[in-house]
Amino acid sequence: MALLKGTLDVLVLKALSWGPLHGFEITRWLEARADGQLIIEDAALLQALHRLEERGLLKAEWGVTENNRRARYYALTPAGRTKLKREMESVLQSVAALTGILAVRTPSQGGAR
């Protein structure tokens, strides 16, 4: 399943709300929670991280992973936390609206079934 346009940012923020993670950890966290239904391209993810950091929603520092490898760790800033809250509400609202619309049964299709 491809990602709904514009939702990657909010998903990244959500993933980081539990604590600092490096790029691959974020992918793994998201893919684990999506039951393998979600595919995130690494380049797009890293680009999103750069963008979020530029806007001051994330801060980053170099650290060492469990495999003793250098990695860039990202964490939410207070601004990022606020942003996550607002974005989550708006995404959930629009998903609810979409779900509501798509749940309406279409008569002709219903007849064919």
Partner 1 sequence: MSERGVRAGVRRLFRLALHRPDWAADEADAELESVLQERVDFLVSGGMAPDAARAEALGRLGDSIHGARARLQHSAERRERHLMLSEWLDDLLTDGRYALRSLRRSPAVATAAILTLALAIGANTAIFSAVNAVMIRPLPFQQPDRLVALWEKNPDFHWYQEDAAPANYIDWQEQVSAFADVAAYPSFPGTVTLTGSGAPRLLPAQVVTGNFFEVLGIRPFLGRTLRPSETWSTGGPSAAVLSYRCWRDVFGADRGLVGRTVQLDGQSVEVAGVLPERFAYPGLDVDVWQAVGWDPTARTQVWFRRAHFVRTVARLKPGATAESANAAFQAVVTRLEHDYPATNTHMGAGLTPLHDFLIGSTRLPLLVMFGSVAVLLLIACANVGNLLLVRAAGREREAALRLALGAGRGRLVRMAFAESLVLATLGGAAGVALGGWGTRILVAMQPPGMLPVQDLSMNWGVLAYAVAGTALSALLFGIAPAVWMGRRIPADALHEEGRTASGSLRSGRLGDAILVCQVALAIALTLGAGLLVRSYLVLQGVAPGFESQGVLAVRIVLPGIRFDSTRKVLSFYDELEARARALPGVEAAALVSQVPLGPPSWSSQFSIAGHPTPDQGTQAIHRELSREYHKVMRVPLLRGRFITDADRREAPYVVLINETLARTYFQGENPIGQRVAFDRIPDSMSTWRTIIGVVADERQASLAESPQPEFVAPYSQEARSAMTLLVRTRGDPATLGPAVRQIVAQLDPGLAISSMQTMDEVRMASLARDRFLTALLLSFALVGVVLGLVGVYGVVAQLARRRTREMGIRIALGARVGQVQWIVVRHGVVVTLLGVALGVGAALATTGALRTLLYHVAPTDPATFVLVPLLALVTSALASWLPAIRVSRADPSDVLRSD
Residues 6+ apart with CB under 8 A from 6: none
Whether 23 and 69 have beta carbons less than 8 Å apart is answered as no
Pick the binder of partner 1 from 32, 33, 42, 92 (CB under 8 A). 42
Q: Cα separation of 103 and 21, whole Å?
A: 37
Give the x/- contact pattern for partner 1 in 60-99, rule: CB under 8 A: xxxxxxxx-xxxxx-x------------------------
Residue closer to partner 1 (CB basis): 6 or 63: 63
Torsion sign, CA atoms 52, 54, 56, 59: positive
Q: Cα separation of 26 and 40, whole Å?
A: 10
- Residues touching partner 1, count (CB under 8 A): 35
Asked if 34 interacts with partner 1 (CB under 8 A), we say no
Residue closer to partner 1 (CB basis): 18 or 112: 18
Residue closer to partner 1 (CB basis): 17 or 91: 17
